[in-house]
């Protein structure tokens, strides 16, 4: 499947989507999260990270640009890197921090404000578009690689949304 749309009528629905996505994560997956401030990008990322077994606080990496989380996926330890490029001042900042190397075959990368890193950011497997819809949110998921397509296919059955 390449494209998927769902209403998230409240924050519990965002959490449920996060749980669904956590189940289909694979090493090296790159997810872009598009949407205005307050659309729910951090809320969804937090839900994914917690559903993937991380117990501590998941803060918004607004000033650090990136925050790593050590997870275990199918018994395999890996890092999930949560980026927020909203305040990235230049492509050099990204490159000098060594962020290019984080996009490798094992690390999962979730990127808020990917538009701000357009010149240096590796391509995504999945793009999610979040927008405000009434009191809730609309989520559109798009697969942009075979790997992303395989993930979306497994998302076919979204419970409780
Ligand atoms: N499906 C939803 N319906 C209504 N509110 C939501 C939903 N999902 C998340 N929220 C709320 O919207 C806000 C989103 O904030 P945040 O995740 O920081 O946005 P962003 O990272 O996109 O700027 C939070 O206050 C969160 O509780
Ligand atoms: Mg955010």
Quick: pLDDT tens for 38-79. 999 999 999 999 999 999 999 999 889 999 999 999 899 999
Query: What's the predicted TM-score (pTM) here?
Result: 0.96
Q: Give percent of the chain with pLDDT exceeding 70.
A: 96
Cβ distance 83 to 99 under 8 Å?
yes
With bands split at pLDDT 50, 70 and 90, how would you rate the model's confidence at 157?
low
Neighbours of 139 (CB within 10 A): 25
With bands split at pLDDT 50, 70 and 90, how would you rate the model's confidence at 16?
very high
Does residue 14 lie within any of the structural domains? yes
Does residue 159 lie within any of the structural domains? no
Does residue 104 lie within any of the structural domains? yes
Mean pLDDT over 146-154 rounds to: 94
Give the whole-angstrom CA distance, residue 44 versus residue 137: 11
**Ligand 1 centroid – CA 76 distance (Å):** 30
Neighbours of 76 (CB within 10 A): 9
pLDDT at 140: 96
- Residues 84-115 pLDDT 10s: 999 998 999 999 999 999 999 999 999 999 99
Measured over the CA atoms of residue 87, residue 91, residue 92 and residue 94, the dihedral's sign is positive
pLDDT at 159: 52
Does residue 158 lie within any of the structural domains? no
Name all residues whose Cβ lies below 6 A of ligand 1.
8, 10-11, 13-14, 35, 37-43, 112, 136-137
Nearest ligand by distance to the CA of 134: 1
Higher-scoring residue by pLDDT: 52, 158: 52
Q: What is the mean pLDDT of the chain?
A: 94
pLDDT at 146: 97
pLDDT at 45: 98
Q: Containing domain of residue 28, as a range?
A: 3-153
pLDDT at 155: 86
Does residue 160 lie within any of the structural domains? no
- Measured by CA distance, the residue closest to atom 25 of ligand 1 is 38
Ligand 1 atom with the shortest distance to the CA of 13: 1
Ligand 1 atom with the shortest distance to the CA of 43: 17
**CATH code for position 58:** 3.40.50.300
**Ligand 2 centroid – CA 5 distance (Å):** 21
- Measured by CA distance, the residue closest to atom 16 of ligand 1 is 40
What is the tally of structural domains in the chain? Answer: 1
């Amino acid at each position: 499947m390449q494209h998927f749309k769902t209403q998230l009528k409240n924050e519990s629905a965002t959490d449920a989507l996060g749980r669904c996505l956590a189940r289909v994560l694979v090493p090296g997956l790159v997810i872009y999260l598009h949407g205005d401030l307050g659309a729910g990008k951090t809320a969804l990322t937090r839900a994914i990270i917690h559903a993937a077994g991380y117990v501590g606080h998941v803060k918004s990496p607004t000033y650090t640009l990136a925050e790593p989380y050590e997870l275990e996926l199918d018994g395999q330890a890996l890092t999930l890197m949560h980026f927020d490029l909203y305040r990235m001042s230049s492509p050099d900042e990204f490159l000098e921090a060594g962020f290019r190397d984080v996009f490798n075959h094992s690390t999962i990368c979730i990127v808020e404000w990917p538009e701000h890193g357009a010149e240096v950011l590796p391509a995504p497997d999945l793009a999610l578009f979040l927008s405000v819809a009434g009191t809730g949110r609309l989520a559109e998921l798009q697969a942009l690689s075979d790997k992303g397509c395989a993930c979306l296919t497994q998302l076919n059955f979204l419970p409780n949304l």
